[in-house]
Amino acid sequence: MSKPTDKTDFAKLDAAFFEMLQRVWGFQSLRPSQHDAIESILARRDTVVVMPTGGGKSLCYQLPAVVSSGWTLVISPLLSLMKDQVDRLRRLGIPAAALTSAPSGPER
């Protein structure tokens, strides 16, 4: 596994980005693969991220969504993961929702 990179290696990402990373997620740094993915997303390039379980994929779309204006749409086939992540984001004070096939008519 590659060594995390500290904020001095992220010329394109500003201090507010790292303040949010630390305040909301409690991280001081990103893994190099996370940095590359996040930088691509923030540059508004179509981005496909393939990482192993526990590799930090969720942060790659959650952090850019929090520091950017507008909406972020994430498509996932994993209902339980979506619920867990939406619940966690809401606990952190970040507005989040999941649209799935599970809710009944009124909830939809």
Q: pLDDT band for position 4 (50/70/90)?
A: very low
Q: What is the model's pTM?
A: 0.68
d(CA 11, CA 7): 8
Reduced to 3 states (helix: H, G, I; strand: E, B; else coil), residue 70 is: coil
Reduced to 3 states (helix: H, G, I; strand: E, B; else coil), residue 96 is: coil
Give the helix/strand (H/E) hosting 87: helix 79-91
Render pLDDT for 18-75 as a digit per residue (tens, 0 to 9): 888 898 889 988 888 898 898 888 888 888 888 888 888 888 888 888 888 777 777 7
Please state the rounded mean pLDDT for residues 85-101. Answer: 87
Residue scoring higher pLDDT (58 or 4): 58
